[in-house]
């Protein structure tokens, strides 16, 4: 079957007009990126699938509310992130205490270095890298939901602060503040991995991505909904 060449806006408009296939085409087009955001926001596949499904149901039902003031992809991400945050808030995730600002760079270094594939030389190093990634994912799950969403979008998915602000429906300064607080909290939770802040070896040795902005990448493919 030939790919549908209609634009995102055209597909959404067709869905509103009654095209039974248009929304499915739109979802499949952006599924991987939406799934990656849901997975990293929720922390596990089961909750991520629920959050993504909630978001897509909301988008399906509220498609006529789209006014074109943002890209369709931005709108879809906003709906999915909000659905995930609603689930996290319903689970009564507790607010984490903020820490001194001088820990921020180490929290940022940790989350960028440890999540996502990194080159390893042998099975022993691979096991250590796996344990570190698991520790970071667990720490990320302990953040305040709004901070977690900001870090997922900016540090893990590679969105700019302005793009993340548009998705989250808040000011760019708010996104920066949430990222800063989230990174400092991560620095505390991951202190056992960071070691001496003056020594970057524990997290950055052999990892060419450490300290750099992570480019956008697709996550695992989403389950059907």
Q: What are the tens digits of pLDDT across the range 68-123? A: 888 999 999 999 999 999 998 887 544 433 333 343 444 555 454 444 444 455 67
What CATH number is associated with residue 78?
1.10.1740.10
- Indicate if 86 and 23 belong to the same structural domain: yes
The Cα 171–Cα 190 span in angstroms is 28
Average pLDDT over residues 142-159: 91
Q: Whole-number mean pLDDT of the chain?
A: 77
Q: Which residue has the higher pLDDT, 47 or 220?
A: 47
192 found inside a domain: yes
Structural domain containing residue 42: 8-90
Closest CA to 38 of 72, 73, 66, 78: 78
What CATH number is associated with residue 144?
1.10.10.10
Q: Can you give the pLDDT at residue 88?
A: 87
Q: Can you give the pLDDT at residue 1?
A: 56
Alpha carbon 121 to its chain centroid, in Å, reads: 28
Q: Can you give the pLDDT at residue 225?
A: 41
pLDDT band of residue 37 (cuts 50, 70, 90) is: very high
**Over 80: is that where the pLDDT of 153 sits?**
yes
Average pLDDT over residues 183-203: 67
Q: Can you give the pLDDT at residue 209?
A: 35
112 found inside a domain: yes
Q: Can you give the pLDDT at residue 92?
A: 54
Q: Can you give the pLDDT at residue 89?
A: 83
Residue with tokens 């689970």: 91
Alpha-helical runs (H) found in the chain: 8-16, 22-42, 45-61, 72-90, 104-114, 123-141, 145-151, 161-168, 172-189, 191-194, 201-204
Number of neighbours of residue 51 by Cβ within 10 angstroms: 26
- Indicate if 109 and 193 belong to the same structural domain: yes
215 found inside a domain: no
When divided into structural domains, the chain yields a total of 2
Average pLDDT over residues 180-189: 91
- Indicate if 77 and 158 belong to the same structural domain: no
75 found inside a domain: yes
- Indicate if 160 and 78 belong to the same structural domain: no
């Amino acid at each position: 079957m030939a790919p549908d060449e209609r634009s995102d806006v055209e597909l959404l408009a067709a869905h509103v007009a009654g095209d039974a296939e248009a929304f499915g085409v739109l979802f499949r087009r952006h599924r991987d990126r939406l799934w990656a955001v849901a997975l990293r926001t929720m922390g596990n596949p089961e909750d991520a699938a629920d959050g993504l499904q909630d978001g897509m149901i909301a988008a399906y039902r509220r498609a006529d509310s789209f006014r074109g003031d943002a890209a369709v992809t931005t709108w879809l991400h906003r709906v999915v992130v909000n659905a995930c945050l609603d689930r996290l808030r319903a689970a009564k995730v507790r607010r984490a205490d903020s820490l001194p600002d001088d820990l921020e760079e180490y929290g940022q270094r940790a989350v960028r270095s440890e999540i996502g594939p990194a080159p390893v030389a042998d099975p022993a190093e691979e096991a250590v890298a796996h344990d570190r990634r698991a520790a970071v994912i667990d720490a990320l799950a302990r953040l305040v939901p709004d901070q977690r969403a900001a870090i997922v979008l900016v540090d893990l998915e590679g969105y700019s602060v302005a793009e993340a602000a548009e998705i989250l429906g808040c000011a760019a300064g708010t996104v920066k503040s949430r990222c800063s607080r989230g990174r400092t909290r991560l620095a505390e939770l991951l202190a056992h991995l960071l070691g001496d802040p003056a020594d970057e070896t524990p997290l950055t040795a052999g990892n060419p991505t450490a300290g750099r902005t992570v480019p956008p990448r697709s996550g695992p493919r989403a389950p059907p909904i």
